[in-house]
Amino acid sequence: MGRFIPWIFIALVLASGLLPESVCALLDFNPEKIKQGEYWRLLTGQWVHFGFNHSLMNAAGLAIVQYSFLDELPLRGWLWVQGAVLSAVAFGLMVFNPEIGVYRGYSGAFIGVLCFALLHFWQRAPWVALIFFGGLSIKIFLEHLPNYDIHYLQPLIGVAVAVDAHLYGYIMGILAQVSYWLWRTFYKKSAATEQQLGGDV
C-alpha cells in the first residue's frame, strides 16, 4: 500500500485544480488569516492551485520525478522530504514574504522534492544527477536576478511565479537529502555493529 501513497498524493495535487474558488479561498496560503489562527492554510495553501493548468503542471512534474528518481525510495523517506519541503516553504513565506498576500500551489515544494530526488539519484548515475542539478541551480539563480520576468507563466496559470517559494524549497531539498543520507549511514553502521556484537557473543 505504501508504494501507492505517492501516486495518490499526485492525483490529489492534480484534482485540486478542479476545486471551486469558494473552497480554494478557505484553504489558500494567506498570511493575515494564518496569523488569525487559520493554521491549516500553511499546508493546504500548497495543495490548492490557481486553476487546472497550474495543478497539472505541478502534478505532471511530480509524477515524472517520482517515476524517474524516487520510485524505489522507502515511504519513510518520501514522507520525510514532503514534510521537510512543505514546512520550509510555509516557514519561508511567513517569515520572509509576509507581503505575498495569497499564495497557492505546490511549485515551491516541488522544487525541493526535485532537488532531493536528483541528489538521491547521485549514486546511481552521478553525471545525470550533476547535469540536472546544475540546471536546476542555474534556474534558481536566474529567478532571483533583478530583471527576471516573474510573469512569464501568467497567461497559462493566471498569476506571477513565486520565485522565493522555489528558493526555500531548493534549500530544504538539499538539507533534507543530506539529513536523509546521514540518517541512512548512521542506521546502517548501527545495524552492522549490532550484528557484529551479536555474532561475537
3-class secondary structure per residue, 151-180: CCCHHHHCCCCCHHHHHHHHHHHHHHHHHH
Q: Which residues contact 170 (CB under 8 A, 6 or more apart)?
A: 111, 112, 115, 136, 137, 140
From 110, 96, 84, select the one nearest 9 (Cα to Cα).
Answer: 110
Q: Which residues contact 180 (CB under 8 A, 6 or more apart)?
A: 77, 80, 81, 116, 120
pLDDT in tens, the chain (201 residues): 678 999 999 999 999 999 999 999 999 999 999 999 999 999 999 999 999 999 999 999 999 999 999 988 999 999 999 999 999 999 999 999 999 999 999 999 999 999 999 999 998 899 999 999 999 999 999 999 999 999 999 999 999 999 999 999 999 999 999 999 999 888 777 766 666 655 554
15 within 8 A of 55, measured Cβ to Cβ: yes
Q: Which residues, in sequence order, are bridge partners of residue 131? A: none
Q: Which residues, in sequence order, are bridge partners of residue 103? A: 29
User: What percent of the chain lies above the pLDDT cut of 90?
Assistant: 87
The pLDDT assigned to 191 comes to 64
Structural domains of the chain ordered from first start: 2-196 (1.20.1540.10)
* 91-99 contacts at long range (C-beta below 8 A, 24 or more positions apart): 91/168, 92/164, 92/165, 92/167, 92/168, 93/29, 93/31, 93/162, 93/164, 93/165, 93/168, 94/31, 94/34, 94/42, 96/164, 97/162, 97/164, 97/165, 98/31
The pLDDT assigned to 201 comes to 43
The pLDDT assigned to 123 comes to 83
